[in-house]
Amino acid sequence: MIQITLIQIDNFGPYTEEMGNNREHKIQILLAEIFIFLQKKFNLYECLVFDGSRDNMIVISNNMSIKDHQFIIEQVEKEFPITISMGIGVGETPLDAQIEASQVLNSQGSAQSSRKKILAYNGHKFPIRDKVKVAHIDINYYTKIAIDKYPFYSNYINLNKGYVSLMESFEKIGALCFFNGGDNFICICPPMTQASEIEQIIRLFEFKHEPWKLKAGIGVGENILEAISKANICLKEIREGNNKEKIAVIN
């Protein structure tokens, strides 16, 4: 089982309207500061926040209690002119857990309603302490074949097309995939996911996005940070072998 937390900034649309017409830079600064604040707070519990639509974020929150979540909600209210609500979901797959997190939070009202500082969940016994499986994927020689060769914006468009392909493929196996900067993607996988399934996703990507080739480090840990650390070790091993292997695993 895996535990996923959905974070929503409360009533964000109406709030930004009150900031006046000259507001876009202020919105970007506020969103960046909130994300950094939340990432630091959740990291203390060995959890990780992924940016979604800026005012919505997803946390891999195994090992966090209800009390831990409530503390962060209160800290945000003290530090910022906005509040946040959270929905906590549990599932056999990360996708199932995220769906439940959305459902329990939506049941308490719209993100643009008067709903405020909600912490919603379905009565599971928290925290969930099962292991987490992660695939860290990156593009072979991306700097050489893209960054140093084509204009940035052309690469940016192609990178986003590739990101959508990976999100759609990983969703089919119940996984969540997030762009993590550069040419890196972090995919939170169901514990039963086989390396062969990820290899199939990679081969489909390479067929659709030639000449890009991928490699994946797969790690399993007691929490998301430990799992990613192991996945990173795997990626390093693949690089040191001149990317001859597509996948390496540390359980």
In the chain, the domains with their CATH numbers are 2-120 (3.30.70.1230), 132-250 (3.30.70.270)
Model pLDDT, residue 35: 97
Residue 54's SS3 state is: coil
Model pLDDT, residue 16: 84
Model pLDDT, residue 236: 94
Model pLDDT, residue 29: 93
Below-70 pLDDT ranges, the chain:
none
Model pLDDT, residue 105: 96
Nearest to 132 by CA among 231, 236, 6: 231
Question: Model pTM?
Answer: 0.93
Owner of token pair 């390396």: 195
Q: pLDDT, tens digit, for every residue of 30-46?
A: 999 999 999 999 999 99
Distance between CA atoms of residues 117 and 48, nearest Å: 21
Please check whether residue 53 is in contact with residue 9, taking contact to mean a CB–CB distance below 8 angstroms: no
Please check whether residue 132 is in contact with residue 60, taking contact to mean a CB–CB distance below 8 angstroms: yes
Taking the CA of residue 216 as centre, how many other CA atoms within 13 Å lie in the half-sphere pointing to its CB? 26
Distance between CA atoms of residues 62 and 47, nearest Å: 7
Strand partners, 215: 138
Model pLDDT, residue 18: 81
